[in-house]
A and B are shown apart, each in its own frame.
Chain A
Amino acid sequence: QQKVQQSPESLIVPEGGMASLNCTSSDRNVDYFWWYRQHSGKSPKMLMSIFSNGEKEEGRFTVHLNKASLHTSLHIRDSQPSDSALYLCAAAPSGGNYKPTFGKGTSLVVHP
């Protein structure tokens, strides 16, 4: 049973467009969410983390979190071809039950 569900599995957006990715955890103990980007053949690099309700923005990237529904979303505005990658969502509870679990990822393609 996959505890972290990501949608869509794949996404194609035009250059300059907005990409929206979703992630939901089924583990009620989750406190932390991370978003990672993995380019082909590379290891994942952390984009953003969020553990409070609300919104967090860094440059073209905005992350939302609703802790009640355990749902987070990543929005990329003004998407660039270099944003084409696998986007992974991870979640973990805090404290002694800490165990980061990843979703299967969303494959994003930004076409020129």
Chain B
Amino acid sequence: GALVYQYPRRTICKSGTSMRMECQAVGFQATSVAWYRQSPQKTFELIALSTVNSAIKYEQNFTQEKFPISHPNLSFSSMTVLNAYLEDRGLYLCGAREGRNERLFFGHGTKLSVL
């Protein structure tokens, strides 16, 4: 079956430090990977959409300088939160799209806490 592994599941970092999270698609080819942040208030924000053979598209309020993403192949994507502060807290989710159909699979998410 199709699975998306995301790690770490949770992390705590000091204010001003950085942390990297990884997303791996297993059992299918992820033609695009969407990174989201779910705030403590449960609102979903799309950070960026990474599509194979295309540039990574960042949404308003999110930049490559703050959230650099690497998507080297069809099964792996990573995102780093640079200089994390309190407002970066939340659950970061990667959603991988299978081929060209409508299915979008999520990893378990990485819960980021900032001290």
| A contact set with B: CB distance below 8 Å | 32, 34, 36, 42-46, 49, 51, 86, 88, 90, 98-105
Contacts and interface: CB of A to CB of B under 8 A. Distances in A.
A86 to B, nearest CB: 6
Contacts of B46: 99-102
A104 B42 contact: yes
A90 B102 CA distance: 11
Interface of B: 6, 32, 34, 36, 42-44, 46, 49, 51, 57, 91, 93, 95, 97, 102-109
A99 B58 CA distance: 11
A86 B39 CA distance: 14
B103 A49 contact: yes
Contact of A105 (B42, B97, B104, B109): B42
A32 B42 contact: no
Given A98-B32, A98-B97, A100-B104, 10 more contacts: A43-B93, A43-B107, A45-B106, A49-B103, A86-B42, A98-B51, A99-B34, A99-B57, A100-B46, A101-B46
A21 to B, nearest CB: 15
A21 B109 CA distance: 25
28 contacts: A32-B102, A34-B102, A34-B104, A36-B106, A42-B108, A43-B6, A43-B93, A43-B106, A43-B108, A43-B109, A44-B106, A45-B106, A46-B105, A49-B102, A49-B103, A88-B44, A98-B49, A98-B51, A98-B97, A99-B34, A100-B34, A100-B97, A101-B46, A102-B36, A102-B46, A103-B44, A104-B43, A105-B42
